[in-house]
Amino acid sequence: MKLNVIRGQEAATCAAIGTAGALIFLFAFPKGSITTLVHAVLGLPGPGTGIALVVGPFLILVAIIASLLSRADGGALVASFMFAVAYALVVRLLGIPTNPKGAFGSGWFIAAVVAFGIVAEATMVVGKAVKDVWRCMIAGALANAVLLVFYWMMIFPRTYEWVDWSDVPLLMGLCLLCGLASGCVAWGISRALSSVFALEEKE
Amino acid sequence: MCGPPDFEALHTCVTRLAELSAAGVTTCSVCMAASLCRRCRGKRGERDDGILCDVPGRLAVEGLSEQPDT
């Protein structure tokens, strides 16, 4: 398998996408909104529902769009890493309040997002033989599952509590479904964006 | 669940997501429309140039075809 490793301009594009994603996430999801949505409105058990239903799918959008637009290996990882770093920096510099349960902006958060990025990237590289939309969906589901398991094993036991074993099948099922759906949406958005860029390039 | 539900935050979240979606869709539509417009204008310009280039040739052909009648 021949690798088309990401280079200067492509890496900068992916980093910009990751940073923009972090800023949009901070703007769109103020403290308490995700917890209220998943527990008070949807009535789902926790911990990890917010990660599986909101944080993970949003990260999938950022990572997969960056990977597909750059068309280079490493795009998803660079975008994920920059998302985590930009999020941590903005939260610390501007003193934006976040939910302590999710440890957003901490070293553990960066580690979780990097693990997510590695899995997303590996799936995108390994699955090149598969049709693009399926590759994005599988990458989304696997990366979302890894993010959730990382949170369950490494973060929630420190910040909140261990997940109840009886909730694991439901949460993991939702996590995989949301990952698949988000991967599909990311593929659709990147197709629309690349058609706009292709028109610009033709001119 | 940790802490009481914050419906104010959820309302803000939904409003901001709607605003972001609207802004994204509008920007994308404007970009696509502008690109298509420029492309169409470019094609029309090429076609006009082509017609002008063909004019002397076509006149010559018409002239030849009209000669036998006169």
Cα of B55 to nearest chain A Cα, Å: 28
| CB spacing of A35 vs B2 below 8 angstroms | yes
Which of A142, A126, A136 has its CA nearest to residue A190?
Answer: A136
Residue A138: other Cβ atoms inside 10 A: 18
Q: Is B32 helix (H, G, I), strand (E, B) or coil?
A: helix
**Helix, strand, coil percent content, chain A, rounded in steps of 5:** 80, 0, 20
Show contacts of B32-40: CB within 8 Å, 24+ apart.
B32/A195, B32/A196, B32/A199, B35/A196, B35/A199, B35/A200, B35/A203, B36/A199, B38/A203, B39/A199, B39/A202, B39/A203
Asked casually if ipTM beats, i.e. exceeds, 0.90, the reply is no
pLDDT at B70 over 60: no
Give the pLDDT confidence score for residue A120 in this predicted structure.
95
B-chain CB neighbours of A200 within 8 Å are: 31, 35
Give the pLDDT confidence score for residue A203 in this predicted structure.
53
Report whether A8 contacts A68 (CB < 8 A): no
Q: Residues 80-109, chain A: which have Cβ within 8 Å of B?
A: 99-101
pLDDT digits (tens, 9 = 90+) for A88-100: 999 999 999 988 8
Ramachandran angles phi, psi of A165, nearest 5°: -55, -30
Which of A169, A117, A199, A142 has its CA nearest to residue B29?
Answer: A199
A-chain CB neighbours of B6 within 8 Å are: 31-33, 35-36
A-chain CB neighbours of B13 within 8 Å are: 28-30, 33-34, 37
| CB spacing of B35 vs A200 below 8 angstroms | yes
Cα of B54 to nearest chain A Cα, Å: 25
pLDDT digits (tens, 9 = 90+) for B15-59: 999 999 999 889 888 888 888 888 888 877 777 776 655 555 555
B-chain CB neighbours of A99 within 8 Å are: 2
Q: Cβ contacts of residue B6 below 8 Å, gap of 6+?
A: A31, A32, A33, A35, A36
